[in-house]
Structure 1
Amino acid sequence: MPFTQVVLKVHSRCDLACDHCYVYEHADTGWRSRPRVVGDAVLARAAERIGEHAVAHGLTAVHVVLHGGEPLLAGPTVLRRAAEALRAALPEVCEPDLRVHTNGVRLSPAYCELFDELGIRVGLSLDGDRAANDRHRRFADGRSSHPQVLRAVGLLREPRFRHLFAGLLCTVDVVNDPVAVYRAIAELEPPAVDFLLPHATWEHPPDRPAGVGATLYADWLLAVHACWEADGRPFAVRTFDSVHRTLAGLPGLSESLGLEPVDLVVLETDGTYEQADSLRTAYDGAPATGLDVFRHSLDDVLRHPGIAARQAGLAGLSATCRACPVVRSCGGGLYAHRYRDGSFDHPSVYCADLRSLIDGLAARAGGVRRPVAPVNVAGPELSESQLGELASGLGGPETVRALARSQLDLTRAMLAAVHGSSGVARSAAWELLADLDAAEPAAVDAVFAHPYVRAWAARRLSGDPGAGLGRMAELAAAAAALAARGDTVAVPVRDGALHLPTLGRLALGGGVREARVTGGRDGWTARTDDGALTGPGDPRWQPVRRIGLSGGRVLALEDIDPQRAAHRWPVAERLSDTAYASWTRDLRAAADLLDRDLPDYAAGLWAGLTTVTPLRPGPDGRDLSSAARQAFGAVAIARPRTALTLALLLAHEFQHVKLGAVLDRWELYDRTDTRLFEAFGLSPRPIGSLFQAVYAHLAVTAFWGTRAAAGSPTARSRFTHWRALTDAAVDLLADSGALTPLGHRFADGARESLDPWLRVPAAGLKG
């Protein structure tokens, strides 16, 4: 996993003397020997290293926090040099997300104007009202810092600077009244707040007043959460949002929760690379890597054992953590908090608090801990304007969600037909699905909306002998696991594995024929026919892996469902961890490229695309991709060499997905027409294939046209090539004589979408 977040230290001292500071008050003393201010040579080389890392890994965004000590002590000139060096070093396709985190004491209108000019957002540290804040955040002579911080917040709340306000960081002290702390912070109307547990280890445990329970920190946070919920969640709280996301099977939002690999590195004022600052609380020298920007690349840092340990996910946790039912939400807690007796192979020192917090938030969310999020397919029937959107080749989020709703209804009807044709009056699996559908419809929808559920139903209804009825029991078991209310269903074990669609598979070996799956609040369990009890903590469990994208979006990387072989090309087997990391990197980069270069198409794509299925590599490196008509929401792709190609393939294939959903509801052409049409340099195809090709290449033309306008010579030649072929194909489609009235509307919409690109003079393109 490449580094996408960099903490760049621009000053190594601070003008406050906070007694809970992990830099100056904990075990590590490395700050004493470092330059106070980062030098020009370090800044230049650091920017070069970050730029080369972005190029090497195809990054489309890098998040850099200018930090300290107190970064404003470095002065405006150094901060300007840092921002300008970073922007100059990054490739054109990579956007810098620059931030500064400050105690706020020195923030002024002049600094805010500088940050506005440089595009730097500002985060502040504040522990609540004056009493709470002054308990730790004081000047060395004991003076309060609270008035200065409030003045800084006031600056950032001014209309001219409001867009710079990134949020507040609050360190928890259980001596402070949680309600008073929350109210003091809420009055400031921050865009986001992060509540941090004070850094501690098993050797230096957190303060716990005598006579209180073992979950005091969880109780404190749950009291804040109650206020936050009562107020309607007026701002983002990363701690709570991370738990809610991980309970739903999505990636967490911070290093301290969830199992996402860590992608952060620290650069000190002397140019040395370090691991996370939080490690300073473990022992002197804990964050050190022995590497620096002058002799080592960021890829060298990725190979450091400490970084590898923090990127290992579930495999990097202690046996106690791996067996815990909330491990996918907790993630073992912050790495530094696990330290004990020279090792990090322990649960967090906040283990009891984290369990109590996660269980408490799960209970408040309805008592359901869902391993995956229900797919949001609710939406109205298509209006005339929405049909017009689709006719033009587009379709916004609400339009695509309406298509998804109709696809889910079709899947339900097909599953009912499968059951009706099975010869079984009322199977136990069908009975359970019917019961869950009445009591926990979101759980059933989440399973039924999985793209390869309908693919199986279509195979079964076509008489395919390989589409066994055991799949219905698998669907019931997956829904029971999501509903988490204690239902049990018997599931046949196929090819030595228990398959739970949307969740994963459990390798049980060839001697096991059946497992009884029970979904409960602490996760699902499976009892095999030999009496053994197991569950998701079993090392043989292979979950469906999900990739978190910017904006909270998530894609499932489906490489284990037996029904995924619904595409025209062979699917890949379970990916290695290295291949998964490469897919993660490339999909994130491709998503950012689509958002930037093809926003009108991307908006609908993210509302309907839920699953990417890896294909086996094509012959001679050929790019392969596919959309299966019976698998709405999925595209299959052989990972291409670049994120740019991956972005194009995603857009191209999702056009086929959308049009397939349209064709399930409306007739666009005469299906009895047997003529063949030649377009796009392909062999002659029937009218349906021509329609699909035109629809897909509207997005292809727009993709290359946007990039050509930005100055890419390669894009210029591809744009002129594809717009000419698409132009000819639209004419061929419109004049085919095979279109229904609605089909003509779609052909007219294609022409309206293409015409603006035809008016772009090739000679006027940059490059």
Structure 2
Amino acid sequence: MSSESPLPNHLLPHDSLAELSRGEGGPATVDLLVGAERSRRLLLLRTLDDTTGLGPAWDLLSRAQLRAPSVVDDVLMYPQTGMWLAGALRRLRGSAAAEEPPLWVELGHASALAAAAALRAELDFSVEVPVRLGKVPLPTLGCAVVPTTVPWARATVRSEAGHAVVETPGATVTVPPPGSAGPGWHSVRRLVVGPPGARLEVALDDVDPYRTYPRPTEPRPLPEEAAAQWREVLEQAWAVLLREQPDTAEAMRRGVFSLSPTPARERFRPRSVTSGDAFGGIQVSEPDDAVQLAVTLVHEFQHTKLGGLLHLTPLLRRDADSGTELWYAPWRDDPRPLPGLLQGIYAFMGITRFWGTRRTAPGMDALAHFEFALWRTHVAAALDQVHRHRHFTPLGTQLSDSLRNRCARWLREPVPEEPLALALMCAADHATRWRVHHLRPPATAVEQTVRAWLDGEDRPPGALAAEPDVVPDPSARWLDSLAMLVRHRLGGVDDGRRSPEDPEKAAARVTGALSGDALLAAGDPTAARHAYVAHLGREPGRAGAWAGLGRALEQAGTDPEAARLLCHRPERARAVQLALSQATDAPPDPVRLAAWLGSSPPRPA
């Protein structure tokens, strides 16, 4: 490729930085981020060539660039190209595990890129490319399916006088024009939705191996029926965004390039992923409906913008050891390092903005108010943790302050009583479940407390009040179960009225939920208390039951000392009860133990 013209310097003007600091970013700002990403990709490609010598692939890309520079730009800026480039360089530098595919297959992807660019530029050429588990992917175009008896092999892509083929010793597959089908060929579908002047055009990529983040997966072409469903739901989601988030939609047209579909998940629990290396790409599970897809697009576009900003300037000090400090992220089951928490804050600012707008539309039900109230509470809690953190750069501090100020304005907005109360309960419940999973009181303090209980002391020792350690619990899953049950309740309308449901059946619809959770979500804290106590009798270490019991006591207005302890320091009750279960055949009633642990002040150690 030509390297005669120097790459431009990329500077974001004050207005663009201010937009991004507010969690926004209009079309002009996104154009600047896209331009910077193009330069970054060129540098990565040049580095890869300097390191390995891309040879024929480099030469073919150079020919294509001379013939059709916009085509090479399109291939270069394809999200999956960025994912491949970054992964190949990490692997060469030893900072990524040397997993399948073999290195020669990964580096050979450069030839597949060059072949795709040359085909689109209508060049005559011949180049050798990798075969991956019987498939030959050509980025932005599609993949050929060829017979093979080995997982990794080689094929030749050849084009002459407008006729292109993929050849192996056992087969020849004709490559049809872009977007067309053919025997042995799966095309990358292009989805174009929206009215003239406001169209979104993206690839629905189910074949590029680098379409999944953070690790590649081999092509899995969608059936036509599934692809048609994606087209329909994207059309509907885009209509929602144009109507309710027009500025975001206009920016998204410039910065979202591909969707990588994955199978549907449990209702209200979609999965979506972006990567800073794959600017403009979104991996997303089949959505429940158009609104969910619209929310997901907003969420992941926030990550895309922040990733682009981080490629230009750091928000955290480079010499700060921020990776060793773990934080509570209200949208995650696991503790997060500061960079990950910052990404989440930025993404969920977008989600809060979406629901803040949507809930004002005519005919909106309680669910939209609940989502707005829940996410503004979660984002505020995360921002309060990191406010003016010493690891922020000046720009990072500016961004954090700007987001916090905007969230504070959201917190002042009125929300109807029922969805507000449910949102606050679910936000507090998630934080409590996180604590009981990931915080550990000192072992010696637990031992002293067990002895004090068995000796009949009137209150626990002061040692138990020491700050607990953060010990990530890999079993922590589905901490959002209560919020999921509330969503089912608010979103399950029958003849205009919410109908009660058997708690066991309700809990069965939400992975990780207990019957006590379903009773709590349904507004019956007294029954929830009994269900949680019964569960702890069978399984004294069940973290969610301890957290739910505290919330049930709080909602019922009973046993205030036990409620306070379990809502704010549940890890103490769980640790002591587990130790007592080993020390005695008859562990105490959980409420009675929590009330004793919550007696104030603790006696001196």
Q: TM-score range by the shorter chain?
A: 0.5 to 0.7
Does residue 757 of the first structure (1) align with residue 410 of the second (2)?
yes
Distance 1:568 1:714, change over 3 A: farther
1:554, 1:681 → 2: CA distance?
30
Percent same amino acid at aligned positions? Answer: 33
How far apart are residue 603 of structure 1 and its match? Answer: 2.2
What is residue 676 of structure 1 aligned with on the other side?
Answer: 326
Deviations 1:322-369 (A, max 9, x none): xxxxxxxxxxxxxxxxxxxxxxxxxxxxxxxxxxxxxxxxxxxxxxxx
Relative to the length of structure 1, the TM-score reads: 0.47
Does residue 508 of the first structure (1) align with residue 146 of the second (2)?
yes
Larger fraction in helix = 2
Q: Secondary structure at the match of 1:421?
A: helix
Q: Is the 8 A contact 1:568 1:626 kept in 2?
A: no
Does residue 607 of the first structure (1) align with residue 247 of the second (2)?
no
Aligned residue runs from structure 1 range 337-486, under 5 A: 381-422=11-52, 424=53, 427-463=55-91, 464=98, 466=101, 467=103, 468-486=106-124
How far apart are residue 651 of structure 1 and its match? Answer: 0.7
Q: Is the 8 A contact 2:128 2:154 kept in 1?
A: no
Aligned residue runs from structure 1 range 552-701, under 5 A: 552-567=199-214, 573-618=220-265, 622-670=269-317, 671-673=320-322, 674-680=324-330, 682=332, 683-701=334-352
How far apart are residue 571 of structure 1 and its match? Answer: 8.7
2:57, 2:14 → 1: CA distance?
40
Does residue 703 of the first structure (1) align with residue 354 of the second (2)?
yes
Amino acid at match of 1:384: H
Q: Secondary structure at the match of 2:359?
A: helix
What is residue 370 of structure 2 aligned with on the other side?
Answer: 717
Q: Secondary structure at the match of 1:650?
A: helix
2:173, 2:271 → 1: CA distance?
41
Amino acid at match of 1:417: T
How far apart are residue 635 of structure 1 and its match? Answer: 0.8
1:574, 1:430 → 2: CA distance?
29
Distance 1:570 1:726, change over 3 A: farther
- Bigger mean CA deviation after superposition, 606-615 or 411-420: 411-420
2:31, 2:266 → 1: CA distance?
36
Q: Is the 8 A contact 1:559 1:614 kept in 2?
A: yes
Aligned residue runs from structure 1 range 111-510, under 5 A: 381-422=11-52, 424=53, 427-463=55-91, 464=98, 466=101, 467=103, 468-510=106-148
Q: Secondary structure at the match of 1:665?
A: coil
Deviations 1:635-666 (A, max 9, x none): 11111211111111111111111111111111
Q: Secondary structure at the match of 2:112?
A: helix
Distance 1:765 1:699, change over 3 A: farther
Q: Secondary structure at the match of 1:462?
A: helix
Amino acid at match of 1:427: G
2:335, 2:173 → 1: CA distance?
57
Distance 1:515 1:713, change over 3 A: same
Q: Secondary structure at the match of 2:259?
A: strand
Q: Secondary structure at the match of 1:762?
A: coil
1:640, 1:396 → 2: CA distance?
26
Q: Which consecutive residues of structure 2, in runs of 5 or more, have no partner in the other structure? A: 1-7, 92-97, 421-605
Distance 1:604 1:428, change over 3 A: same
Distance 1:681 1:615, change over 3 A: closer
Q: Secondary structure at the match of 2:276?
A: coil
How far apart are residue 739 of structure 1 and its match? Answer: 0.9
Distance 1:538 1:572, change over 3 A: closer
Q: Which consecutive residues of structure 1, in runs of 5 or more, have no partner in the other structure? A: 1-377
Deviations 1:719-739 (A, max 9, x none): 111112212222223232221
Distance 1:614 1:591, change over 3 A: same
Corresponding residue to 1:517 among 155, 158, 173 = 158
Q: Secondary structure at the match of 2:129?
A: strand
Deviations 1:609-652 (A, max 9, x none): 01111123336773111112211111111112111111111111
2:268, 2:415 → 1: CA distance?
31
What is residue 55 of structure 1 aligned with on the other side?
Answer: none
Deviations 1:38-96 (A, max 9, x none): xxxxxxxxxxxxxxxxxxxxxxxxxxxxxxxxxxxxxxxxxxxxxxxxxxxxxxxxxxx
Distance 1:572 1:709, change over 3 A: farther
How far apart are residue 408 of structure 1 and its match? Answer: 1.8
Q: Is the 8 A contact 1:516 1:528 kept in 2?
A: no
How far apart are residue 460 of structure 1 and its match? Answer: 1.4
1:568, 1:531 → 2: CA distance?
29
Q: Secondary structure at the match of 1:469?
A: helix
How far apart are residue 572 of structure 1 and its match? Answer: 8.3
Distance 1:462 1:681, change over 3 A: closer
Q: Is the 8 A contact 1:709 1:766 kept in 2?
A: no
Q: Secondary structure at the match of 1:649?
A: helix
Q: Is the 8 A contact 2:146 2:171 kept in 1?
A: no
Distance 1:572 1:533, change over 3 A: closer
Q: Secondary structure at the match of 1:630?
A: helix
1:681, 1:552 → 2: CA distance?
32
Q: Is the 8 A contact 2:144 2:166 kept in 1?
A: no
Q: Is the 8 A contact 2:205 2:259 kept in 1?
A: yes
Question: RMSD of the TM alignment (CA)?
Answer: 2.8
2:24, 2:268 → 1: CA distance?
31
What is residue 548 of structure 2 aligned with on the other side?
Answer: none
What is residue 349 of structure 1 aligned with on the other side?
Answer: none
Distance 1:443 1:715, change over 3 A: same
Amino acid at match of 2:62: A
What is residue 387 of structure 2 aligned with on the other side?
Answer: 734
How far apart are residue 416 of structure 1 and its match? Answer: 1.8
1:638, 1:461 → 2: CA distance?
28
1:620, 1:396 → 2: CA distance?
32
Distance 1:569 1:527, change over 3 A: closer
How far apart are residue 542 of structure 1 and its match? Answer: 0.7
Deviations 1:157-204 (A, max 9, x none): xxxxxxxxxxxxxxxxxxxxxxxxxxxxxxxxxxxxxxxxxxxxxxxx
Distance 1:490 1:410, change over 3 A: same
1:626, 1:471 → 2: CA distance?
23
Q: Secondary structure at the match of 1:430?
A: helix
Amino acid at match of 2:79: P
1:754, 1:572 → 2: CA distance?
41
Amino acid at match of 1:454: G
1:510, 1:645 → 2: CA distance?
40
1:687, 1:568 → 2: CA distance?
23
Deviations 1:496-517 (A, max 9, x none): 2222100001112217842232
How far apart are residue 681 of structure 1 and its match? Answer: 5.6
Q: Secondary structure at the match of 1:515?
A: strand
How far apart are residue 436 of structure 1 and its match? Answer: 2.6
Deviations 1:389-413 (A, max 9, x none): 1111111112112111211221221
Amino acid at match of 2:387: A
